[in-house]
Amino acid sequence: MRRFTALCVSLSLAGPLAADPVGEAVTRAVDRHATPAIETFAAAAEGLAEVAAQDCRAEAVKPAYHSAFDAWIPVQQLHLGPIEKDGRILAMSFWPDKKGLTQRTLAAIVADEDPVVDDPAEFAHASIAVRGFFALEMMLYDDRFAGYGAEEYACRLVRAITGDMARMAGEIDAEWTGEDGFADTLKQAGEAAQVLYLTPTESLQALYTQLTAALEFDRDQRIARPLGSFERPRPERAEARRSARSRRNLVLSLEAARDLARSLAPAEIPAIEAGFEDAIGLARDLETQDFSDVEDPTQRLELEIVGQRIQTIQGAIANEIGAPLGISAGFNAGDGD
Give the DSSP letter string of 231-280.
SS--GGGSTTTTTT-HHHHHHHHHHHHHHHHHHH-SS--HHHHHHHHHHH
The answer to whether residues 169 and 41 touch, using CB atoms and an 8 Å cutoff, is: yes
Domain ranges of the chain: 21-187, 200-325
Residue 287 to residues 95, 223, 291, 305, Cα–Cα distance (Å) = 23, 14, 8, 14
Q: What's residue 274's pLDDT?
A: 98
Q: What's residue 93's pLDDT?
A: 97
The answer to whether residues 186 and 207 touch, using CB atoms and an 8 Å cutoff, is: yes
24: how many CB neighbours lie within 10 A of its CB? 14
With H, G, I as helix, E, B as strand and everything else as coil, classify residue 194. coil
Closest CA to 72 of 51, 54, 96, 45: 45
Q: What's residue 330's pLDDT?
A: 62
The answer to whether residues 321 and 265 touch, using CB atoms and an 8 Å cutoff, is: yes
Q: Annotate 130-157 with b (16+ C-beta within 10 A) or e (fewer).
A: bbbbbbbbbbbbbeebbebeeeebbbbb
- C-alpha 325/C-alpha 175 separation (Å) is 28
- C-alpha 265/C-alpha 26 separation (Å) is 10
pLDDT < 50: residue spans in the chain: 1-18, 331-337
Closest CA to 239 of 229, 251, 231, 230: 251
Which DSSP category does 1 fall into?
Answer: -
- C-alpha 304/C-alpha 79 separation (Å) is 26
- Domain 21-187 of CATH type 1.20.1420.20: yes
Assigned fold of 200-325: Four Helix Bundle (Hemerythrin (Met), subunit A) (1.20.120)
The answer to whether residues 250 and 218 touch, using CB atoms and an 8 Å cutoff, is: yes
The answer to whether residues 184 and 193 touch, using CB atoms and an 8 Å cutoff, is: yes
Note the pTM of the prediction, 2 decimals. 0.92
